[in-house]
Structure formats: structure tokens, C-alpha cells
Amino acid sequence: MTTRLPRTIPWMTIAFALALFIPIFGTRFYTSVATDVLILGLFATSLNLLLGTTGLVSFGHAAYFAIGAYVCAIAMKTFEVPFLLALPLAGLAAGAAALVFGYFCVRLTKIYFAMLTLAFAQIVWAICFKWNDVTGGEQGFNNVPYPDLAWMEVLPGLSRMRVGELYFYVTLVVVCLCLYVMRRITNSPFGRILTTIRENPERAEFVGIDVRRFELAAFVIAGLFAGLAGALFGIFNRGVFPDFGYWAKSAEVLIMVILGGMGQFFGPLVGAFTLVVLNQQITSYTEYWPLVLGLLLIVLLYAFPAGLLGTIADLVKSLRGRRNA
Amino acid sequence: MLEISGLRKSFDGFVATSDVSLSVARGEIAAVIGPNGAGKSTLFNLITGHIRPDVGTVHLEGRDITGAAPHAICRMGMGRSFQRANIFPKLSVFENVQAALIAHRRAATDLWSASRDIFRAETHQLLASLGLGPQAEVTGGTLSYGNQKQLELGIALAGEPKILLLDEPTAGMSSVETAETIGLLQRIASERELTLLFTEHDMDVVFAIAHKIAVLHQGRIIAVGRPDEVRADPEVRRVYLGEQHA
């Protein structure tokens, strides 16, 4: 072997540092888009723990996003629970729901598993839609308060910032912490076992793995992080609506994961970024955004099945290989 | 070590195995042979918990394991390879064996350490003993078929089994690979004091390494004994060996 290049450029730290400047140099619009991307990136990454790592296709991941969003919003507005408590509560509630629904889902495989996740998600949507007294029903749960962020103005550079910009920093820190934890989990021995289940469940069973139990654990972890993303999004959006749990939302997050590349840890984040930005840009030119999205997906699936980041990673790998040869 | 008694399984009226009893002693190398459709794979699936028997029991070291889940049976010390090489195709050779070690050493519930760093020495040692050392970083699914079967053996051995069930360990191999595999199996069985139970089509392999042979025909065991006894058995000659040595 030749002298190794420093393989790990601290991309995460660099990206984090750059992101800190977005509210300072960017407009309110950019800050808002960045917050959106971060939250949906977290949501998509949580789905990829199932899709890319464990090989489970969920058509109902939005259910846990919606549960997190409603629990956090209701706790903060109706019960005046502080954000620092409401956020973990939202994650735990979504995780608990994933434990109950997942218990049944992992008993099925493949398309039956996917259909059952969809069925549970539609139940969650229907409850949010009809339970007027608690969720606000069809009208949604509006005027979700921002957390009290006045204390942040003491921090250097953050005085005089609007609450929306301060909330961007809160989102940035929470999302980065969550991504860090999920990355540790993905690279842990537990994560390795999840990949063996993706690769060959029969063999995994006969190295002594209780496949269903590990699938359920992955399902709960993914649900928990989706719930945290939902909680952040409800506040950012100033309101929570039944559509958060609708199947279209589940499809959207699935598209983000595939667009960015499910074989890469940061693929879903790239997918979320691409989808949000494209949506913003294209809807300002034409009302046919779904048409453009459809065409884009067709090209992607044929030309770059590994997704955007996956294709780049493969390219870098082959360039490196050529240089070493 | 392994005690099978009165196993019976039928699928929609078709009797796959009927009243199969067999015992394998510690350290013994036993083979189950029989024509296609004799019920060999069904018998293995009954032993390893992939199928529940209708009647009969399986005991491993005196413990009743009838109807237990495959992962539980694996944990009690049974290893298995499948008829078609059954590995984790997109993981590297190293990761294939390492994952089996993670499962066996109960590290699978560790959500925080870096998996890259654990059981490195053990994994490399096991790969070296199988002759797969140089291919550690190769993607498992790109190996030759023979090497994939060796890798599967490595996955099974990582579980430090007391008894190893091999479903046609040399199926699909070239004659060179077959010879290598026989040597490897004999060496590993004696080094690790393993009990082996295997099925095989290749009679040369069977008579080269088995201490004991059971002949399965239409779901029933028609003869059990030392290789020379089985070879001389008139019924075996008629239904099975006769077909080839006529």
C-alpha cells in the first residue's frame, strides 16, 4: 500500500461551520429554506435507517413525523410544556407508536410489510383528521408557539436576530446531534447486523440473529427520529396539519432518500436539499412541478440508480482506484 | 450429541420424511445420502428449525430443540451451511465473517462502538485458516462459487458450533475445489473437535470422509452404518448405489 491520503476530511464539521453563517449573510428566505432542508433531511435520514440499512421499505413513515409534530405542538401550546421537554416527548411518543405498529409490521415481509406500514399511517392520518378537540381536525393545529429563545440573544453575533433565525440555529444543533447519533448507530455492531438482515435474512437468522426483533428495533429508532423531525417541523411551520401523516408525505420522503442515494449515510440529506430547492425554483416558473419531478425521477432511476451522492461516491472511488493502479 | 427420533413431515399430503431416526455421536462425521427428492433438505430444515415436524423430536446435547426458532437453535451450538452458497453478497469477505462473530459474541446490541474496530484479529485469523486471507476486502458476492462456499463455512464456524450441518458442501464445485474442500473440512473437524452431519451427491466425498452413512429413500431411512456396511447393504445397492454402479 502507498502512503494513505487522509481519508476522513471532516465534512460534517465544515458543513456545520458554514451553515452557521447562513442567517448572517443570507436573506430570511434562505434561512427558511435551510431550516426546511435540515428538518426534512433528518426525516429522510431516519427513513434510510430502514430502507438503506435494514432493507425494509416503509410506505408509512410520515405517521411518525405527524405523531411527533402533533405531540410537540399540543404539549407546547395546550399544556405549555417547555420546548426542551416537548421535543424529547415527541420523539418518545413517535418511538412508542412505532413499537406498537412495528410489532405487527415485522411479522410480514416485503410488499406485505410495506402495505401494513401504509395502513397504520392512514389510521394515524384519519385520527388526526377527525379528532377535532385535540388535533384541530381538518383545520389543523395552528399558532404553534416558538420556543422561548430570548436567552440566545446573549450569544455573540445573535443579538437582534429574529426568532425565525434563532430557530434555525436550534434546528441546526438538534439535527446535527441526531445525525451524529444515527451515524454512530449505522456504523455500530448493531448497524452491521442490520445490513446482514438487508443482505440475507435467512442467513442472518442462522448466525443467531432474531431477525424480527432487530427489524423492530430499527423501526422504533427510525420512528423516534422521524418524530423529532416532525416536532421541529411543526414549530417551523407554525402549524401542524393532518397532511403531515398522509401517504403523499410518506412518498415524498421516500423520493428524497432514493434521489440522494440510499447507500450513503448523507444521501437522504442531499436528496432533501435537491427536492426542496428544485421545488422552490421550478414552481416559480411553472405550475407543473409534479410533471418535472416525474421526469426527473425517470432519468435518475435509469441513469443514476445509486442516487446523486451514490453516483458521486462511485465516481470518486473509481478515480482513486485508477490513481492507485 | 444429536438425537433425532421419529421425525415425520408431510406437505399437503405428500410425505417428505417419515419416521426418521438418527443419532450422531460427538466428534463423528456422518453423512445422509439419497437420490433427489429423498427428503435430505427437508430433514436438515427440520433439524435447524426452519420447518416444524408433524411428529417426532430433535435433541441437541440432551436438550429438546424440536420446533425452536432457527436463531435459538443456532445459539445452542449448531452451525449450518446451505445447499446454495448463502452469504451476505454486498458485504466484504471480512464483514461477512465479522458479522457472524458480532452475532455470536453478543455484541449485536451495541449501538455505539465502531463496528470497524471489533473482532479484527479473530476475523482475520478465521479467514486465514480458510485460505481466504488475501480476499478479506473483496465483496463477498464477487468471489468464485467455491470461495463463496468456503466463506459460508467461515460464517458458520464464527459461531463456534459444536455440530455443523452442511447441505452439499461441494455442490457446484470443480474437482479441484472439491478436493480442497474435503481437505479443509477434515482439517477443521479435527482441529475444532467438530461433529459434522452432511448431505452430498458426490459418493467419492462421502466415502472419503464419513464415519457413518445414513441412506434416505422416499422419506425413510433404509440403512445406517459404517461406509463398508452401507456399501454392502443389498437394499441400498438396489435403490441407490445400483443406479450409478450398475
Q: Model confidence over A191-232: pLDDT tens digits?
A: 999 999 999 999 999 999 999 999 999 999 999 999 999 999
Residue A154: HSE in the Cβ half-sphere, 13 Å Cα cutoff? 3
Q: Do B129 and B28 lie in a common domain?
A: no
d(CA A68, CA A240): 10
On whether any CB of chain A is under 8 Å from the CB of B167, the answer is no
Residue B122's pLDDT is what?
A: 92
Q: Contact A200/B86 with Cβ under 8 angstroms? A: yes
Q: Contact A86/A231 with Cβ under 8 angstroms? A: yes
Nearest to A114 by CA among A302, A254, A263: A254
| Burial call B196-226: b when 16+ CB within 10 Å, e when fewer | bbbbbebbebbbebbebbbbbbebebbbbee
Q: Which residues of A touch B88 (CB under 8 A)?
A: 195-196, 199-200, 203-204
A106: number of Cβ within 10 Å: 20
Domain boundary among B132, B160, B188: B160
CA distances from A161 to A27, A36, A153, B43, B138 (A): 12, 18, 7, 72, 53
- Mean pLDDT (whole number) for B126-139: 90
Q: Which residues of A touch B82 (CB under 8 A)?
A: 202-203
Residue B139's pLDDT is what?
A: 93
Structural domain boundaries in chain A? 11-249
Chain A residue with CA closest to B100: the answer is A207
Q: Percentage of chain B with pLDDT > 90?
A: 39
Whether pLDDT at B242 is above 60: no
Residue B82 maps to a domain: no
Q: Which residues of B touch A182 (CB under 8 A)?
A: none
Closest residue to B71, CB basis, from A184, A195, A209: A209
Per-residue model confidence as pLDDT tens digits over B81-114:
888 878 999 999 999 999 999 999 988 888 998 8
Closest residue to A199, CB basis, from B75, B91, B98: B91
3-state SS, A160-193, equals CCCHHHHHHHHHHHHHHHHHHHHHHHHHCHHHHH
Per-residue model confidence as pLDDT tens digits over A78-103:
999 999 999 999 999 999 999 999 99
Closest residue to A205, CB basis, from B70, B104, B112: B70
Retrieve residue A150's grid coordinates: 430570548
Q: How far is B138 from chain A (nearest CA, A)?
A: 14
Q: Which residues of A touch B108 (CB under 8 A)?
A: 189-190, 193, 209, 214
Place of cell 445459539: B75
Residue A192's pLDDT is what?
A: 95
Retrieve residue A52's grid coordinates: 438503506
Residue B202's pLDDT is what?
A: 82
Domain boundary among B160, B179, B210: B160
A5: pLDDT confidence band, cut at 50, 70 and 90? very low
Q: How far is A163 from chain B (nearest CA, A)?
A: 35
**Residue of B48, B101, B110 best to disrupt the A interface, most CBs of A under 10 A:** B110
Domain boundary among B134, B160, B186: B160
Closest residue to B74, CB basis, from A187, A192, A206: A206
* DSSP secondary structure letter of residue B40: H
A89, A91, A93, A97: CA torsion to nearest 10: -170
Q: Is B64 exposed, middle or buried (0-12, 13-18, 19+ CB in 10 A)?
A: exposed
pLDDT: is A25 or A58 the higher one? A58
Q: Do B183 and B71 lie in a common domain?
A: yes
Nearest to A83 by CA among A284, A237, A214, A234: A234
| Burial call A302-312: b when 16+ CB within 10 Å, e when fewer | eebebbbbbbb
Q: Are strands B29-33 and B195-199 parallel, antiparallel or unpaired?
A: parallel
Identify the CATH number of the domain in which residue B203 sits: 3.40.50.300
Residue B185's pLDDT is what?
A: 87
For residue A139, the SS3 value is: helix
In B, residues 130-159, which contact A (CB 8 Å cutoff)?
Answer: 152, 155, 158-159
- The mean pLDDT value of chain B amounts to 88
Q: Which residues of B touch A193 (CB under 8 A)?
A: 99, 102-103, 108
Phi/psi at A244 (nearest 5 deg)? -55, -30
Closest residue to B102, CB basis, from A192, A200, A203: A192
Q: Do B179 and B199 lie in a common domain?
A: yes
Q: Contact B58/B10 with Cβ under 8 angstroms? A: no
Whether pLDDT at A2 is above 50: no
Q: Are strands B78-81 and B163-167 parallel, antiparallel or unpaired?
A: parallel
A4: pLDDT confidence band, cut at 50, 70 and 90? very low
Place of cell 469477505: B93
Residue B47's pLDDT is what?
A: 92
- Mean pLDDT (whole number) for B166-186: 86
pLDDT: is B174 or A222 the higher one? A222
Closest residue to A193, CB basis, from B87, B99, B114: B99
Give the angle subtended at the CA of A183 by the CAs of B159 and A73, to the nearest 5°.
Answer: 125
Q: Using the beta-carbon criterion (under 8 Å), do A193 and B108 form an inter-chain contact?
A: yes
A325: pLDDT confidence band, cut at 50, 70 and 90? low
Q: Which residues of A touch B89 (CB under 8 A)?
A: 199-200
Q: How far is B242 from chain A (nearest CA, A)?
A: 36
Q: Which residues of A touch B115 (CB under 8 A)?
A: 187-189, 191-192
Q: Which residues of B touch A184 (CB under 8 A)?
A: 111-112
Nearest to B52 by CA among B29, B31, B68, B71: B68
Q: Using the beta-carbon criterion (under 8 Å), do A193 and B102 form an inter-chain contact?
A: yes
Per-residue model confidence as pLDDT tens digits over A286-318:
888 888 888 988 988 888 888 889 998 888 888
Q: Do B178 and B116 lie in a common domain?
A: no
d(CA B156, CA B184): 14
- In whole angstroms, how large is the CA radius of gyration of chain A? 20
Q: Could you tell me how many CB contacts below 8 A there are between chain A and chain B? A: 92
Residue B216 maps to a domain: yes
Residue B245's pLDDT is what?
A: 47
Per-residue model confidence as pLDDT tens digits over B181-209:
888 888 888 888 899 999 988 888 888 88
Distance of CA A247 to the CA centre of its chain: 15
Q: Do B193 and B237 lie in a common domain?
A: yes
Whether pLDDT at A1 is above 60: no
Residue B143's pLDDT is what?
A: 92
Closest residue to B112, CB basis, from A184, A193, A209: A184
Q: Do B156 and B166 lie in a common domain?
A: no
Q: Is B70 exposed, middle or buried (0-12, 13-18, 19+ CB in 10 A)?
A: buried
Q: Do B70 and B170 lie in a common domain?
A: yes
Residue A313: HSE in the Cβ half-sphere, 13 Å Cα cutoff? 15
pLDDT: is A321 or A191 the higher one? A191
Q: Do B167 and B54 lie in a common domain?
A: yes
On whether any CB of chain A is under 8 Å from the CB of B25, the answer is no
Give the domain extent around B32. 1-77+161-246
Q: Do B175 and B64 lie in a common domain?
A: yes
Place of cell 485469523: B125
A61: number of Cβ within 10 Å: 31
Closest residue to A208, CB basis, from B115, B152, B159: B159
For residue B196, the SS3 value is: strand
Q: How far is B241 from chain A (nearest CA, A)?
A: 33
**Residue of B41, B93, B112, B162 best to disrupt the A interface, most CBs of A under 10 A:** B112
Nearest to A124 by CA among A45, A226, A197, A42: A226
Residue A211: HSE in the Cβ half-sphere, 13 Å Cα cutoff? 25
Residue B83 maps to a domain: no
- Mean pLDDT (whole number) for B121-132: 91
Q: Do B73 and B168 lie in a common domain?
A: yes
Per-residue model confidence as pLDDT tens digits over B34-89:
887 788 888 999 999 988 999 999 999 989 999 899 999 999 999 998 888 789 99
- Mean pLDDT (whole number) for B128-143: 91
Per-residue model confidence as pLDDT tens digits over A111-165:
999 999 999 999 999 999 989 888 888 888 988 889 888 888 888 777 778 888 8
Q: Contact A49/A185 with Cβ under 8 angstroms? A: yes
Per-residue model confidence as pLDDT tens digits over A31-83:
999 999 999 999 999 999 999 999 999 999 999 999 999 999 999 999 999 99
Q: Do B60 and B34 lie in a common domain?
A: yes
Secondary structure percentages of chain B, helix, strand, coil, to 5: 40, 25, 35
Residue A34's pLDDT is what?
A: 94
Q: Using the beta-carbon criterion (under 8 Å), do A207 and B91 form an inter-chain contact?
A: no
Q: Do B67 and B173 lie in a common domain?
A: yes
Retrieve residue A187's grid coordinates: 456504523
Q: Using the beta-carbon criterion (under 8 Å), do A210 and B71 form an inter-chain contact?
A: yes
For residue A106, the SS3 value is: coil
Closest residue to A192, CB basis, from B48, B72, B99: B99
Residue A164's pLDDT is what?
A: 87
Chain B residue with CA closest to A199: the answer is B88
Domains of chain B: total: 2
Q: How far is B104 from chain A (nearest CA, A)?
A: 7
Q: Are strands B78-81 and B220-225 parallel, antiparallel or unpaired?
A: unpaired
Question: Which residues of A make CB contacts under 8 Å with B?
Answer: 184-185, 187-193, 195-196, 199-200, 202-211, 214
